[in-house]
Structure 1
């Protein structure tokens, strides 16, 4: 098996991809803005996908690439995909499942990859369990004030996303596949808060926040009006049309996906 390049190698998902590949004895190269944060013993290359000239040296002798796009727009993705196609044979792209839409920039990058000549597999996770870390300060205060408490999602553990990526990168039969991956539990946001409170040993209640108020807060935090409106629209959609759990993790890995409670147990100190 040839060398695998992992982009976003120090992030929530990429760091687990690197660790799992290294633990399996696979030849892996980590591409990161801060290579000093890469797991010890793993080859690391400093670079940034927004500066494609830094990618070329990292692609030397690489057979497969795990691609995690760092932005909220396509930016220079065409140049990045072209560079990968000039060196590697296949790419596993961490995309996203976008309900009721064209997929936004995720769909656009999928299109670039489809037209590149590369062998490809798309991982399309639903909600990330790690996104609930945004409630950590409120959890410590005992009240989470947020919109759409009845929005239901099957949040996925980042370790499962990484495990699926590693399986796809190291086994045959996945070219041309788009895998929708989720966790096993369909929980409303209010129920997610309850589970967090149970695990950390603190009573935490949900308080419904008007969407207009949340929009102002998110605009101040994120700055991207289109992205904020898209996020609010998506959360609202999960009230009437819950995100359904898939069995993709079980089918690919031969074991159940990790539960949301397991994720909270793994991250309990982040909420304390």
Structure 2
């Protein structure tokens, strides 16, 4: 059987590809730029060009795929229903999807598709800390508007749950809220990072509007920026409450933020080139 993974080079997609390959499964990895995947995936992974936000182009990609993973990304809201319809018509019989934050038309379409489906509802990704890399490396600061706790989840744990749901019975029709083992504020995350890279990092508050402007400067629409910063301003109970879904589904404890930092600490540290340039 073959599993098609969309967004295969993304935060969760690449982990899902690797997890399925580790289990000996046939994996088809969909990406806009196959040449950029050199060395990224285990041997045997079939890398194909394309994007799930253009489902009308995926006839050959869907052919022979029995299972499908979808990550909700920009542009999917408009075409996700069509993607699911085409996947079902092509013979896909089991689908997992990382949701878009609410149960909207795409999520409803999946639930009504007639196939075995599992919706993954992760809280904040630990990888969001990567947005701090530049300011930590160059200034030793993190600028955020709020310091509320968040039940962060490691993207590899999202992938592990997705792999179980794709490969094993008993997960059809389920919506899984996914968190890590701790609810941490930005200040608490900064302290963990600081210890890992042996460098003082300051938390610098900014205003709500400054945070929105920063996202818009990065190409995010005002509506999306207001949604994201609004989520931080008034976190829901789900976003701050730790649940044991990862452990219940996978049989293994969820990864901590400290583990995530250990994997990525080098990205927050000055390189020799940076140090020379600063002198």
What TM-score comes out, normalization by structure 1 length? 0.91
Which residue in 2 is equivalent to 1:77? Answer: 80
2:57 to 42, 45, 54: 54
Which residue in 2 is equivalent to 1:92? Answer: 96
2:183 aligned with 1:186: yes
2:29 aligned with 1:30: yes
Q: CA deviation at 1:247?
A: 0.3
Tell me whether 213-222 or 223-232 shows the greater mean CA deviation. Answer: 213-222
Hey, what's the Cα distance between the residues in 1 that align with 2:248 and 2:236? Answer: 28
Aligned pairs for 1:95-244 (under 5 A) are 95-96=99-100, 98=101, 103=102, 107-140=104-137, 141-149=139-147, 151-238=148-235, 243-244=240-241
Which residue in 1 is equivalent to 2:3? Answer: 4
Hey, what's the Cα distance between the residues in 2 that align with 1:186 and 1:252? Answer: 20
What TM-score comes out, normalization by structure 2 length? 0.89
| Cα distance change on mapping 1:5 and 1:202 into 2, 3 Å | same
How many residues matched? 263
Hey, what's the Cα distance between the residues in 2 that align with 1:199 and 1:13? Answer: 24
Q: What SS does the corresponding residue of 2:223 show, helix, strand or coil?
A: helix
Q: What SS does the corresponding residue of 2:14 show, helix, strand or coil?
A: helix
Q: CA deviation at 1:242?
A: 5.9
Q: What SS does the corresponding residue of 1:75 show, helix, strand or coil?
A: helix
Tell me if the contact between 1:125 and 1:161 (Cα under 8 Å) persists in the aligned partners: yes
Output the aligned Cα RMSD. Answer: 1.8
Q: What SS does the corresponding residue of 1:144 show, helix, strand or coil?
A: strand
Hey, what's the Cα distance between the residues in 2 that align with 1:207 and 1:179? Answer: 34
Which residue in 1 is equivalent to 2:255? Answer: 258
- Point out where structure 2 has 5 or more consecutive residues left out of the alignment: 270-279
Hey, what's the Cα distance between the residues in 2 that align with 1:24 and 1:50? Answer: 28
Hey, what's the Cα distance between the residues in 1 that align with 2:63 and 2:2? Answer: 9
Tell me if the contact between 1:128 and 1:157 (Cα under 8 Å) persists in the aligned partners: yes
**Deviation per CA, 1:150-207, whole angstroms, max 9, x where unpaired?**
x110111111111111111111000000000011111111111111111111111211
Q: What SS does the corresponding residue of 2:235 show, helix, strand or coil?
A: helix
- Point out where structure 1 has 5 or more consecutive residues left out of the alignment: none
Tell me if the contact between 1:46 and 1:54 (Cα under 8 Å) persists in the aligned partners: no
Tell me if the contact between 2:5 and 2:13 (Cα under 8 Å) persists in the aligned partners: yes
Hey, what's the Cα distance between the residues in 1 that align with 2:234 and 2:165? Answer: 31
**Deviation per CA, 1:215-244, whole angstroms, max 9, x where unpaired?**
222221133011111111100113998611
